[in-house]
Amino acid sequence: MSAVQSSESIMRKTSIASLLLSCSLAAQGTGLVLQNGVDAHFDVPYSPILLPRSGITIEAWVKYDDATIPTGTYRWPTICRQNPTPGRESYLFRVGASNTNNRSLEFAVNTAAGFRRTNWLFSPGQLAVWTHLAATYDGNTIVLYENGLPV
């Protein structure tokens, strides 16, 4: 391993550790709370060391009350997204509520061959309690997890 690779690897781990630490400093049992109808997000400045090269894993504890999402208004509650330009994302992990209150968890990764995506249809109220969600892409396969189990 060259000094450049080693240094880059350390920087990547440090950046991710810093992000995780900054997210976990809230009091126990709380998290980033986003209000329906109010645009808000947790912003991580762009850095090429945070772009996936051969794979990515995104995980979050999520509490999503789908009973509060109105129909007729487009909603895409987003857990994580790199590049907010529609269709130009490097990756995204979100609920695809759309304007019909769909209950679909979506994960997409933009690759050289185009978007690789998957989704999981969840039941009404299924994510109304704190739930651990994860999305992985290893360069070939995309998998979504709910509480550690593939869905």
Q: List pLDDT tens digits, range 41-80.
A: 666 666 777 667 788 899 999 888 888 777 788 888 888 8
Q: What is the pLDDT of residue 147?
A: 96
Predicted TM-score (pTM) of this structure: 0.70
pLDDT at residue 150, rounded to an integer: 96
CA distance 105 to 147: 14
Residues of the chain with pLDDT under 50: 1-28
Provide the CA 111 distance to its chain's centre, in angstroms.
17
Beta strands in 3-67 (DSSP E): 56-62
* Strand runs labelled E in the chain: 56-62, 78-82, 91-95, 104-111, 114-121, 131-137, 142-146, 149-150
